[in-house]
Structure 1
């Protein structure tokens, strides 16, 4: 255990901690001396009998960390006694990329505190998790943080204690620190390395790698225009792309590509790191297909990198719209090794009309598409992420008129931009 956490402990007092309460983060930090600060909001409603703990996943390997985080959540929800509240939390160094560590905050109001503590002791003995307990001072106001260590087969509190104090919200939402090549991939090699390392634990990863090009397809300008159509489900993408195929005599491709369809359900069960790498590589398979077709005819693509990135960013960044990375952030940049389309059309639709169309279709939806249906904030974040992606940026088209009118409007865009 000590070997795994020593790199963290070296800068431990500089870290900020964030706990999700009712969909909003509550921040606190720690310091060696108390200077009269009040206890953080997180502890204001903790009763005298309640016990508080934090669990941070500290495995060095990103894939193991992602897998264990998902497993830890299941373990806590399954094995903790009734009366325990588990909230997502994280620890990070402000403005330091890749410094985010994810975990959970536990408030134990149960009648079986020994059962909870026993579970935590087992975790620290065998798993890559750093446990801290939080103790109320004698005056009932001050709180201190105590790190647990593991030595000689016994779990014990480290003698070092820190005072817990409020912390202001950081300049950047903490989840944005780890988006690059974790939630969104910006090169073939980064996504490929993730799936390559999954071969031993996910047999289907080998099947994906057999479908991949040996490297990212050469990013050269296609002979014929490549038009990508983006948008949320039920905005009319299928109707429009098929109409464009017919009117332009174009090839029609989709991302993720058809060859990955049998594997999607399997990778949708995986943690975000692995799932996002799978979909990122799907874009490179599509890019290879686009390059082949665009040497002889125009190409229409139903979704591409914009979708992969927009959904990932909106999912990774919790809370309100203002938590999204600012316009111009590097998270919105197009991958330098991915084929660049000539035009990207983003279809938008009134939310109620989109829901009506979804009901009429009655088709099964992914977890993220279900989230769009009942979470207006998530939908707005996806649409805003779409708009902020550049290189190329999306051209927004209102999809509420008739299919023929939408087709005519997009054809005008294509004539102006692509000279078709």
Structure 2
């Protein structure tokens, strides 16, 4: 069952965002020579803006290397930003010192991608989960051990696991331990960096449902970073699409999946597999982007996606499109968006743009002799069923 896309009650009652990011930048210097002089910089995050409201879940998707994980570490202040501004609960935390940032750690926590490397193998589970209380000098009611055992039960583990070590648990159980540690001090904001990508598919749904249940029970606010578009669709209220250090589209989940505006988002949606063989005929053509992602050391001028875009024009090479709202709550950074009016009409599509992608027609499902075609479908001469109406959420489903 998909998550309700209505705006959370907390966000409706609180017009002020819990997290506000403005022009966030992180460049990692590349140094060469005897004196270690900077010769270049990896532009991991290069000016992004977004807000997260209390009680909602913001999903962040994009290819590997686009800056998603770096962005997560920047807003939790695990690494120092090169520029921009991060406000949490009305307070500027962009350049707070370690000492001043420590009290804020109670309200901002992170769940890491690898559930094993993020746990100290020499410490017991009780020591790992109780560490936030010791670091913050907090003594929970009823005693520390009892409270930690209650946390273990909250995430689906047994209190008897208190004295065990990380190597004695499966991947899904280790991730639950990481979740328990992140929730120990009842934070307001949790940043989950690929929380299920290292887990088996059978375990992913359990962890995702656990995060949903904990959000409802504890009133949490999430920023969830993931590659899996089906996971993001299930858990998110709004979704930000990143490409090469920039947010290229930011919209409500339903709007993004039904009417994506940025060509890159359209290409991502076309890659979503349809597990039901009877519905594969409803899927549109697969858009296969040619070439590799440009280097973040020297990103392309203008729109960073123009080297792989089939709609690129001369203005895309020279002028970077701003992230603007073309519909209510739907922002996109594109001169020639999909499912929206052209922002710079009359431009000539570049010759190289016509060869930037390859369209792959969807495989038609074979009709079973025992099963008649679905209602609303018309049988063809070769026995396949052609849908008479598009899918409920659009052809990209």
Return the TM-score normalized by structure 1. Answer: 0.23
Query: For the pair shown, which has the larger CA radius of gyration, 1 or 2?
Result: 1
Q: Which has the higher helix share?
A: 1
